[in-house]
Amino acid sequence: MTATALYEIETTEAGNGTTHPAEQLWIPGEDAERDGFLAHRGLHITGIR
């Protein structure tokens, strides 16, 4: 049996040679509504413009 990864994190290399994720997950804080999120019972929703 061979194991396969469920997902792969794409990385990019900075000018100094360090790598970091190409995409990031941002979780809104208490100011979610001010930042454009709709908040309903702990669920935060935003649209892509």
Q: How many degrees, rounded to 5, is the angle at CA 18 between CA 12 and CA 22?
A: 25
Confirm whether pTM is higher than 0.75.
no
- Of 18, 23, 19, which is closest to residue 7 (Cα–Cα)? 23
Whether 44 is in a domain gets the answer: yes
Domain range enclosing 46: 25-49
pLDDT at 18: 92
Tokens for 15, please give them: 């000018």
Q: What is the pLDDT, as a whole number, of residue 47?
A: 67
Is there a domain that residue 20 lies in?
Answer: no
DSSP helix/strand/coil, 8: coil
For 27, list phi and psi in degrees, rounded to 5: -105, 120
Q: Please indicate, yes or no, if residue 17 is contained in any of the structural domains.
A: no
At 1-49, the pLDDT tens digits run 676 777 778 888 989 999 888 776 677 777 777 777 787 787 777 765 5
In a domain, 43, yes or no: yes
